Chain A
Amino acid sequence: MTDTSAEQKTTVSMTVDGRAVEAVPGEMIIAAAERAGTYIPRFCYHPRMRSVGMCRMCLVEVVGPRGPQLQPACYVPVAEGQEVITDSPAVKKAQDGVLELLLINHPLDCPVCDRGGECPLQDQTLTFGPGETRFVEEKRHWEKPIPLSSLVLLDRERCIQCDRCTRFADEIAGDPLIDFVGRGDHTEINTFPDQPFASYFSGNVVQLCPVGALTAEPYRFKARPWDLEQVESTCTSCSVGCRVAVQSSGNRITRRLGIDADPVNQGWLCDKGRFDYEAVNGDDRLRAPLSRSGDTLGETTWGEALGKAADALAGARDRHGPASIAVLGGARLTNEDAYAWSKLARVVLGTDNVDCQLADGLPAEVVLGLPHATIDEACEADTVVLLTADVKEELPVLYLRLRGAAVAGATNLVELSATTTGLTRYATTSVRYRPGEAAEAARQLVAGGAVTGDKVVCVLGRPSLAEQPDSVIEAAGVLLDAVPGIRFLSGLRRANVHGALDMGLAPGLLPGRVAAADDGGWFAGAWGTLPETEGLGAAGILEAAAAGRIQALVLLGADPLADVPDRDLAQRALAGAGFVLALDGHLTASSRQADVVLPVVLHHEKPGTATNLEGRVTRLGQKITPPGSSRPDWMVAVELASRLGGDLGLETLDQITDEIATLAPAYEGITRAALAAAHDGLLAGRDDASAHEAPPTMSSAEHPEVHAAAALGETDIVASEPIAVRETPEPAAAKPPTLRHRPAGRTATPPATDSYSLRLVSSRALYDEGTLVQHSPSLAHLGRGAAVRVNPAELERLGVTDGAQVRVSSSRASLTLLVAVDEGVPRGVAALDYNQAGPGAADLIDIATAVTDVRVETV
């Protein structure tokens, strides 16, 4: 972090125990000393949070006019000529004293404490503390433990009141739901009456706790730290791509911890990302291939299942033509899996009917073809325009970053949305638009001068599944015209959807963000062949399947019945498809209707790479071996190719990574060696040099939490191995350009509305009926349920009360739902969370209409 290269002296010269240290202006003594190799013990200090100087463990002597004075090293900034003493008798006495005091009321139940073995209090007592206590009185007693929420429990006897959890909740999460109560030695942390610590980020306080006071329900008593092994990986619960330490014991994932990747998650995780590993461990994982016989799916062998699938695919291809085959899904896959399937579809199956999105995102050219922004760029932008669904619900850690930037005044949030979102209260401008009218709202926003500054970033996603994205794309075009230097940060939420798109899992697209039309013989040369015509996207595939024109449908971890925002169409498509092959880790509503189901491995069971919403490519770590005979998706692709008489030329995972780096233009330079060396991953396809200049980052070694955890197991499974790259022959043609896209001008006319109907808005809440959440027992019950939320005025108009049953009817269906009053929903709009338990938005939406109007009536 020290930068002495600038022309002027930008550092502060000081001494620590007589040694000269160059420090960064503004940093605290504790940080400067640590970088210089002097670890000052601490409990309350955390580099990502405001210093409070409370625990007094970091007292050092700072020489002042009155001689050496004890000062908290976490609270005193460095200064030119400052003399710091960390090893004097006075400092030693203070450290001994503080530790003895912290321990007098500490229960010392280390043998049964989850934190024992990785406990900063334990460790620092051994390193800095007195050997024994002189306390003979009875210790303070509290009821133990008490739940702060359904995920986090608090043992107040162990608590040392360091203010870390409370500061996190207030400063970082913006959920100040826990605080100090009482005074003196009866000070405790607690929730407010009848308000649980129901934060999406509650698990972070468990990781932050320097003692065993806070424990996580999913991990309590599951393992001892010294039994854990660990790899670094990337969370794939959404597309933010938080870096995580994945820990296991006895071939079960026991815990996920956030790693401080400076440009991404800065150590934080959302609770879904922290805890949904339970789904990977689940007893309900698919362990063997299933094959349909009549109405039932029965276990079979890989040989039989693959043979049956290959026969169906070959039959479709040879009798009905390649266009009768379609591949849906792929966001669950690694980049290597997606590349193999992209290649299989184009080269062996001959079809371009591939789509990793399920008509729930944005067209590939919009996601890939607009100038990309990083999270850091958004957080430093003059203005961030939010044109996506609720970031707090869909991309929680991006929410933390944007919220933090807004609170710090580093950026200016401008929101275009149909209803209030988690970021509304942090936005300087928040404009409500009626679904279908986003473009008009963007024009007004621009005309009103709300989009200011040279550095502008738009977070562009799919605001509502009940609205086709045309108007939103047009709005992006409006912004692009108004702010020529604008960059876009994708708001698509599905795990590795950006990696899957980058690997070409969309019609008309080839790996490395290449439009098939621009290929110029590159992939055609390298792969040998390409489909001649552009294929169908998800909606087209489903329509074709429903019409009986799809003979073989492959579901790559896709569950159309849950995820396609038109359940009726999805159902007709599954019924109409000739043969359905599903690759999944769990049985889903859709795969229950498949003809063959192949069990595949999930995250933490396979290595590979993934690409986050910034285009940041990181490595995934394998920590456990998969259940039963599950295989990685890429291996299934290779096997099917072989059974279909083709050859993908791919035999190992490394070979695929190497081929991507060689052939995929946006992934040039993203080699295994480069990935192994890049702690925070590499950005794919950034044409500007600045994007590859990694900002100074804090390595995990500078963070005691992660460092302590990292010491438990091997943190890096690849870096030390020699990397042998098998050259992929480059084709003779020139490397094609990466996709550039400019949304067309006015496209859609806002649909007319009638005075009886409400326009439906539907997006996802963090906890829904998705596979990972529902197979994680700790999270499965957290969904807030399907209630249609309307403005109080609409409720009054209906003459019903909050919580009553109402009938919600669209052109597709008529449902009985609970109604909830919500002042954040404007008049004329009805909001309904997508994919909650029971009938819901997917039943009401007709994908063929631009917007979904519903009538809400009394039952």
Chain B
Amino acid sequence: MTATARTSVVFARMGDPEAHQLDRYVATDGYEALRRALAMTPEQVHETVTTAQLTGRGGAGFGTGQKWSLLANTYPRYVVINGDESEPGTFKDRQIMERDPHQVIEGALITAYAVRATRVFLYVRGEMALAQERVGQALADAYAKGYAGDNILGSGWSMDVVLHWGAGAYVVGEETALLESLEGKRAFPRIKPPYFPAAKGLYQQPTVVNNVETVATIPWIIRNSGETYAALGAGRAPGTRIMCLSGHVNRPGNYEVEAANITFRDLLFDPSLGGGIRNGNQLKAFIPGGGSAPWFFEDQLDLPLDPGPVGAEGSMLGSGAVVVMDDTTCAVRAAWNLVRFYAHESCGQCTPCREGGSWLEKIMFRIEAGEGRLEDLDLLLDVGDTIAPGPFPHASWPEKGLAASPFPYKMTTICFVGPSAVVPMHSALTRFREEFVEHINHRGCPKGSAHR
């Protein structure tokens, strides 16, 4: 653990409770990056972001500059900012939108300039009332002061930003479902191929879909150069990223860190970060990258927060949400809780997710409630295998890495929501099978209801 672990790039203004105000934003270098970007060519801006080696913060971790390069060379083309943050354990984009909305708007405008977009759409999750209020006010102020709309900053370049409030569905975080929702339709993820947004996105036009944190990073990169950003952190994804730490730690919260410079142990136990497990308890497991990431255990505590090693161990950094479970946690109930979420949030489009997810949920609930049968354990794995056939990534396999657990894993579903319901079941059952058996033999949860 180094003293420089916490670095403020995206969170530079978090100390100021009024940072969402335009004058406060402008007073702290706000819209300076936009001014500089507009003095550059779009290609130079694009190159800067590529040099920064910025990767997407929504979950997949794809190179942002690379993603922009994939855009088909036709018009109109769109930039869509995915503010539908809803992966369990993730709460960074909400904080950015609530506390520093102008940074998102500025990043979105720079993105639009760099990819020569026709229009920007900013999709904010339905449940985030304060974020909607703050983003809406910020955009109105930006328009009023000439930072958005016609002839931005006198540059002759114009760009409109369209706000869209979601209606409350986890699946909209999936980018093609978000595009469907934005088009006014039911949020059914599209089948890929052919519907990669860069080729056929919003209204079947080339579209860049970027996460809120991703674009919020861009103004800093423009102000400080791509090289400066790339020099932060280390590993496959340099720079900083915001880790959403939750669960049984003493200091849950959002921490911006030079990710690859620290380990999970640092994140959980450093006094300036997680501050250790609550009540002096022992660590049981932790989820390294959002509810749909396979679980990690003590063995993985010394892995750096770097997508490469994390992936090789069988999980992912995903959305940067680390959920910590101490030894008072019932593995069955914790996994059931997540499975229930994914089953409930299935959009209902494809059979394996719609029916399989809820079946998994029903079986796990039965086990937790004392109605389990030993054969249910194989059944759970087999239903999981119908949704995601073949080897499934998990840190407690003896054979680890991509060779043993190819990623992305195979799936019979249209999108990752279906397999996401398999993940917690699979992780818990593989590592804590004896707890499942104990539930079955004990005809209920040995921890009783106290652990709830």
Taking each of A96, A100, A105, which has the highest tally of chain B beta carbons within 10 Å of its own beta carbon? A100
- The reply to whether B186 and A179 form a contact with Cβ atoms under 8 Å apart is yes
Distance in Å from the Cβ of A73 to the closest Cβ of chain B? 12
Is the beta-carbon distance between A180 and B386 smaller than 8 angstroms?
A: no
Q: Verify A72–B186 contact, CB threshold 8 A.
A: no
B101 close to chain A: CB less than 8 A:
no
User: How far, in Å, is A850 (CB) from chain B's closest CB?
Assistant: 48
A156 CB to nearest B CB, Å: 12
Does A134 make an interface contact (CB < 8 A)? yes
Decide yes or no whether A717 CB sits under 8 A from chain B: no
A180 and B186 contact, Cβ closer than 8 Å, known pairs A93-B386, A137-B362:
yes
Q: Is B410 an interface residue (CB 8 A)?
A: yes
Which B residues, 339 to 384, have Cβ-Cβ distances below 8 Å to chain A?
343-352, 354-359, 362-363, 366, 379, 383
- Are A97 and B346 in contact, with the CB atoms below 8 A? no
- Measured CA separation A187–B191 after assembly (Å): 19
Contact digits for A50-80, partner B, Cβ 8 Å, 1 yes 0 no? 0001111101000000000110100100000
Report how many A-B pairs have Cβ atoms within 8 Å.
Answer: 98
**Is B355 a contact of A102 with CB atoms below 8 Å?**
yes
B412 near A56 with CB under 8 A, answer: yes
Task: Tell whether, in the assembled complex, residue A56 and residue B350 are in contact, meaning their CB atoms are under 8 Å apart.
Answer: yes
Question: A72-B191, A97-B412 are known contacts. Are A161 and B348 too (CB-CB below 8 A)?
Answer: yes
The reply on A104 being an interface residue by CB < 8 A is: yes
Q: Is A135 an interface residue (CB 8 A)?
A: yes
**Cα–Cα, bound, A137→B364 (Å):** 11
The residues in A between 97 and 151 inclusive whose CB is less than 8 angstroms from any CB of B are: 97-98, 100-102, 104-105, 134-135, 137
- 20 additional contacts, CB 8 Å, given A97-B356, A101-B359, A184-B346? A54-B351, A55-B351, A56-B351, A101-B351, A101-B352, A101-B354, A102-B355, A104-B355, A105-B355, A137-B363, A161-B348, A180-B186, A182-B348, A183-B169, A183-B171, A183-B347, A184-B344, A184-B354, A184-B357, A187-B348
CB neighbours (8 Å) of A57 from chain B are 351
The residues of A that contact B357 with a CB separation of less than 8 Å are 184-185
Contact with A along B171-201 (1 / 0, CB 8 A): 1000000000000001000010000000000
Size band of the interface chain B makes with A: 35 or more
* Also in contact, A69 and B410, with CB within 8 A (given A102-B355, A104-B359): yes
Contacts of B141 in A (CB 8 A): none
Which residues from A are CB-within-8-Å of B413?
56
Chain A residue with the shortest CB-CB distance to B357: A184
| 19 sample A-B contacts, Cβ–Cβ < 8 Å, listed by A number | A54-B350, A55-B350, A56-B413, A70-B411, A94-B389, A97-B356, A100-B386, A101-B352, A101-B354, A101-B386, A134-B379, A137-B359, A137-B366, A160-B351, A183-B345, A183-B348, A184-B357, A185-B357, A185-B358
Chain B, residues 160-177, CB within 8 Å of chain A (1/0): the string is 000000000101000000
Q: Is the C-beta of B47 less than 8 angstroms from some C-beta in chain A?
A: no
Q: A59-B412, A72-B191, A135-B359 are in contact. Are A187 and B386 (CB under 8 A)?
A: no
A90 at the interface (CB under 8 A from B): yes
Closest CB of chain B to A26's CB: distance in Å?
12
- The residues of B that contact A96 with a CB separation of less than 8 Å are 386
**Interface contact A183-B352, CB-CB below 8 Å:** no
CB < 8 Å neighbour of A183 from B344, B356, B363, B412 = B344
Tell me whether B435 is interfacial, beta carbon within 8 Å: no
Q: Cβ of B355 and Cβ of A185 under 8 Å apart?
A: yes
Q: Which of A53, A55, A70, A105 contacts B191 (CB under 8 A)?
A: A53
Contacts of B363 in A (CB 8 A): 137
Task: Count residues of chain A with CB under 8 A from any CB of chain B.
Answer: 34
Chain A proximity of B343: nearest CB distance (Å): 6
Q: CB-defined interface of A318-346 with B at 8 Å, one 1/0 digit per residue?
A: 00000000000000000000000000000
B389 lies within 8 A of A93 (CB): yes
On whether the beta carbons of A94 and B386 are closer than 8 Å, the reply is yes
- B385 close to A (CB within 8 Å): yes
Closest chain B CB from A295 CB (angstroms): 64
Q: How far is the CA of A753 from the CA of B385 in the complex (A)?
A: 77
Identify the closest chain A residue to B359 (Cβ): A104
Q: Is the CB of B343 within 8 A of A184?
A: yes
Partner of A90, one of B351, B358, B389: B389
> Considering the chains assembled together, what is the distance between the CA atoms of A797 and B147 in angstroms?
52
In the docked arrangement, what's the CA distance between A185 and B360, Å? 12
Asked if B414 is at the interface of the complex by the 8 Å CB criterion, the answer is yes
Shortest CB distance B48–A (Å): 33
Kindly list chain A residues whose C-beta atoms are within 8 Å of the C-beta of B389: 70, 90, 93-94
CA distance A93 to B390 in the complex (A): 11
B335 to chain A, nearest CB (A): 18
Known contacts A94-B386, A101-B351, A184-B358; A53/B344 CB under 8 A:
no
Bound-complex Cα distance A506 to B345 (A)? 66
Q: Could you tell me the distance between the alpha carbons of A395 and B73 in the complex, rounded to whole angstroms? A: 45
Which A residues touch B347, using CB under 8 A?
A: 183-184, 187
Q: Which residue of A lies closest to B365 (CB)?
A: A137
Task: Provide the residues of chain B in CB contact with A161, threshold 8 Å.
Answer: 348-349, 351, 354
List chain B residues, Cβ under 8 A from A93. Answer: 385-386, 389
Bound-complex Cα distance A721 to B303 (A): 81
- Do A180 and B348 form a contact, CB below 8 Å, given A53-B191, A94-B386, A185-B355? yes
- Cα A53 to Cα B190 in complex, Å, equals 9
A97 touches B359 (CB 8 A): no
The smallest beta-carbon distance between A77 and chain B, in angstroms, is 9
* A51 and chain B: residue at smallest CB distance: B191
Chain B residues positioned under 8 Å from A90 (CB to CB): 389-390
Scoring A53, A55, A179, A185 by chain B CB atoms within 10 A of each residue's CB, the highest score goes to A185
Nearest-neighbour CB distance to chain A for B13, whole angstroms, equals 37
Query: When the two chains form their complex, are residues B352 and A98 in contact, meaning their CB atoms are under 8 A apart?
Result: yes
Given the complex of chains A and B, what is the CA–CA distance between A409 and B278 in angstroms? 64
Complex Cα gap A90–B388 (Å): 11
Closest 7 CB pairs between A and B? A187-B348, A97-B386, A185-B358, A101-B355, A184-B346, A137-B362, A53-B191
Interface residues of A in 431-484 (CB under 8 A from B): none
Q: Which of A141-193 contact B (CB under 8 A)?
A: 160-161, 179-180, 182-187
Asked if B349 contacts A54 (CB within 8 A), the reply is yes
Per the bound structure, the CA–CA distance linking A96 and B356 in Å amounts to 13
Are the C-beta atoms of A184 and B351 separated by less than 8 Å? no
> Restricting to A511-527, which residues have a CB under 8 Å from any CB of B?
none
Of the candidates A56, A70, A90, A96, the one having the most CB atoms from chain B within 10 angstroms of its own CB is A56
Contact B352 A70 (CB under 8 A): no
Of chain A, the residue at the smallest CB distance from B414 is A53
A681 → chain B closest CB, angstroms = 38
A102 to B356, CA, bound (A): 9
Residues of chain B contacted by A102 (CB below 8 angstroms): 351, 355
> In this complex, what residue of B is CB-closest to A72?
B191
B171 contacts which chain A residues (CB < 8 A)? 183
Closest CB-CB distance, A462 to chain B, in whole Å?
A: 40
Q: Which residues of B contact A183 (CB under 8 A)?
A: 169, 171, 344-348
Inter-subunit contact A98/B410 (CB<8 Å): no
Q: Which of A269-286 contact B (CB under 8 A)?
A: none
Query: How far is B411's CA from A98's CA once the two chains are assembled, in angstroms?
Result: 12
Closest chain B residue to A135, Cβ basis: B359
Known: A90-B389, A134-B379. A185 touches B350 (CB 8 A): no
Q: What CA separation (Å) do A180 and B188 show in the bound complex?
A: 11
- A186 and B363 CA atoms in complex are apart in Å by 17
CB distance from A97 to the nearest CB of B (A): 3
- B184–chain A nearest beta-carbon distance, Å: 12
> Closest chain B residue to A97 by CB distance?
B386
Q: In the complex, which residues of chain A have a beta carbon less than 8 angstroms from the beta carbon of B383? A: 97
Cα separation A301 to B362 with both chains bound (whole Å): 72
Q: Chain B 402-442 against A: per-residue CB contact (8 Å), 1 yes, 0 no? A: 00000000111110000000000000000000000000000
Provide the residues of chain A in CB contact with B354, threshold 8 Å. Answer: 101, 161, 184-185, 187
Contact of B348 among A94, A97, A104, A184 (CB under 8 A): A184
Contact indicator B412/A70 (Cβ below 8 Å): yes
The complex places the Cα of A100 from the Cα of B379 at a distance, in Å, of 12
Across the two chains, which residue of chain B brings its CB closest to A59? B412
Q: How far is the CA of A54 from the CA of B415 in the complex (A)?
A: 11
